[in-house]
A and B are shown apart, each in its own frame.
Chain A
């Protein structure tokens, strides 16, 4: 009697488990077929170049990439831009997030609204808007000239700064969102306790707050890094034609130069570049999930 009672829920569980596997099969297979499979296939294929009609293992594709001046310049330019964008995003968003965490005024509500607004502006519309705003004879130039009479405005449009401005604009909301979520998890008591034992603002920020939001900083860094390395629309429309960021460079190689193999190699190189970041992102998201359950 007791034994059967103990076994029954177990048997029921496994039947339910089959239902669960059936329910998750479709999205999981889709994910494997459209992400894991193409990505790993590309990694394998680029390592097996076709030489004189025969595919075999070799590093020719990568040698071609790294011996090509344009490719290397574009890669370095992409990394440089990524660093600049992430640096700017933290410099802009950390003060905003701290302000939102410790202020409860109606101005704070408007600041929050403004910071999240770009979430609702698609990249393509943003690109157009920025061209009209910061571009040659745009609203900003007109405004500066009309109000100050200064005529030295140099447009960042189609220059490295153009894509940086666009990607920073686009990155503000998730960065603010992630940082405020992290700061919200720092209880007031921990900060008050630090003030109580004599810590000033800077000491509280560096010794209490920063270590406690480490994970949020990491996730914000990772998502922005992956986002910028994998961006196309904004660098394509706002950035320079040379050097190019990897997104437009890959598109040109695939679509205009009609060289899918080279494009694939470029793609795999972006994977490798961001593999550590991608891994750190997934790991910290996994830990977050585990702690919540």
Chain B
């Protein structure tokens, strides 16, 4: 009774909730149902035969067994390289005063200021000449483009958020600069940096547009494989099972996001 009364207090909220639920979650439900079905004849509302038969088949496919480690490897390389080049830059932006720092920081907005696929086409034209099409290096480079803004802006905001007087107090009692960074600054920015790392990894893992343009035909990452499965595969379950499995990194990000990622951190990555 009290539950109903609480619901009645917010009628607009209920309308929005139901509409959003149908639109956002509806498609997801159909994937889950397909993944655990063996047969689903129209017009049955639920699968006509349930089972895990297709899971074993899916993970026996050679193309999938090949694409998964490749995609993981590319994502790791991109994340690590991006961290190595971007994190020191973020520290510099937050902590060192230098001429043009505003300009350089804002210049990374350029990654957001072009229509993405058009940009990839112009990169692909150059890569074509450099023989980088269909190579791991080519794919890694194009993925790096996507990571720069997140990897610089989120940590920069985090480093700026560390109270400078805490660092100065530690310097004052005789700690070296390196020690101050390691023991005072770093622990406070770790949540934001891990958020940026995770976003980079997951973003790269799922990136489709650059991978299809630069990677094919030699390099076939999971999303690209998925694309061809959707277009050419008659067994519906393969796509459903792959979708569910592929969604695992995102699920981890989602769980992590509830704790660490605030809307503000995310907004920082869009230059808002």
Query: Is B69 an interface residue, CB under 8 A from the partner?
Result: no
Query: Is A288 an interface residue, CB under 8 A from the partner?
Result: yes
Shortest distance in angstroms between B197's beta carbon and chain A's nearest beta carbon? 15
Cα distance, A169 to B20, chains bound together (Å): 10
Instruction: Assess whether B26 is in contact with A133, with CB atoms less than 8 Å apart.
Output: yes
Cα distance, A270 to B26, chains bound together (Å): 33
Closest residue on chain B to residue A122 by CB atoms: B206
Chain A interface residue count: which class? 35 or more
B-contact 0/1 string along A109-148, CB 8 Å cutoff = 0110011111111111111111111100111111101100
Query: Is A194 an interface residue, CB under 8 A from the partner?
Result: no
Cα distance, A108 to B9, chains bound together (Å): 12
Q: Which residues of A have CB within 8 Å of B114?
A: 35, 39, 226, 230, 271, 274, 278
A-contact 0/1 string along B141-152, CB 8 Å cutoff = 110110010011
Query: Is B193 an interface residue, CB under 8 A from the partner?
Result: no
| Among candidates A39, A99, A260, residue contacting B128 with C-beta atoms closer than 8 Å | A260
B-contact 0/1 string along A1-43, CB 8 Å cutoff = 0000000000001001101110110111011001111110110
Instruction: Assess whether B119 is in contact with A16, with CB atoms less than 8 Å apart.
Output: no
Interface size, chain B (Cβ < 8 Å)? 99
Q: Which residues of A have CB within 8 Å of B152?
A: 27
Instruction: Assess whether A31 is in contact with B208, with CB atoms less than 8 Å apart.
Output: no
Cα distance, A233 to B213, chains bound together (Å): 11
Cα distance, A96 to B223, chains bound together (Å): 31
Given contacts A20-B92, A232-B209, A247-B117, are A181 and B264 in contact (CB under 8 A)? yes
Instruction: Assess whether B91 is in contact with A267, with CB atoms less than 8 Å apart.
Output: no
Q: Which residues of B have CB within 8 Å of A146?
A: 43, 45
Query: Is A86 an interface residue, CB under 8 A from the partner?
Result: no
| Among candidates A108, A115, A251, residue contacting B117 with C-beta atoms closer than 8 Å | A251
Query: Is A290 an interface residue, CB under 8 A from the partner?
Result: yes
Given contacts A39-B122, A267-B119, are A115 and B20 in contact (CB under 8 A)? yes
Instruction: Assess whether B31 is in contact with A128, with CB atoms less than 8 Å apart.
Output: yes
Q: Which residues of B have CB within 8 Å of A208?
A: none
Instruction: Assess whether B250 is in contact with A174, with CB atoms less than 8 Å apart.
Output: no
Instruction: Assess whether A226 is in contact with B126, with CB atoms less than 8 Å apart.
Output: no
Q: Which residues of A have CB within 8 Å of B181?
A: none
Cα distance, A26 to B104, chains bound together (Å): 12
Shortest distance in angstroms between A96's beta carbon and chain B's nearest beta carbon? 6
Given contacts A16-B97, A16-B98, are A231 and B106 in contact (CB under 8 A)? no
Given contacts A114-B17, A250-B121, A264-B121, are A125 and B112 in contact (CB under 8 A)? no
Q: Which residues of A contact B (CB under 8 A)?
A: 13, 16-17, 19-21, 23-24, 26-28, 30-31, 34-39, 41-42, 45, 95-96, 99, 103, 105-108, 110-111, 114-134, 137-143, 145-146, 169, 172, 174, 177-178, 180-181, 216, 219, 223, 226-227, 229-233, 236-237, 246-247, 250-251, 254-255, 260, 263-264, 266-268, 270-271, 273-274, 278-279, 281-282, 285-286, 288-290, 293
List 25 A-B pairs, Cβ < 8 Å. Answer: A17-B96, A17-B97, A19-B92, A24-B92, A27-B86, A27-B108, A111-B20, A114-B17, A114-B20, A114-B24, A122-B205, A124-B246, A126-B27, A129-B27, A129-B30, A129-B31, A177-B266, A223-B270, A232-B209, A247-B117, A264-B122, A266-B121, A273-B115, A282-B113, A286-B106
Question: Shortest 6 CB-CB distances between A and B: which pairs?
Answer: A230-B115, A122-B206, A230-B116, A129-B27, A17-B98, A267-B118
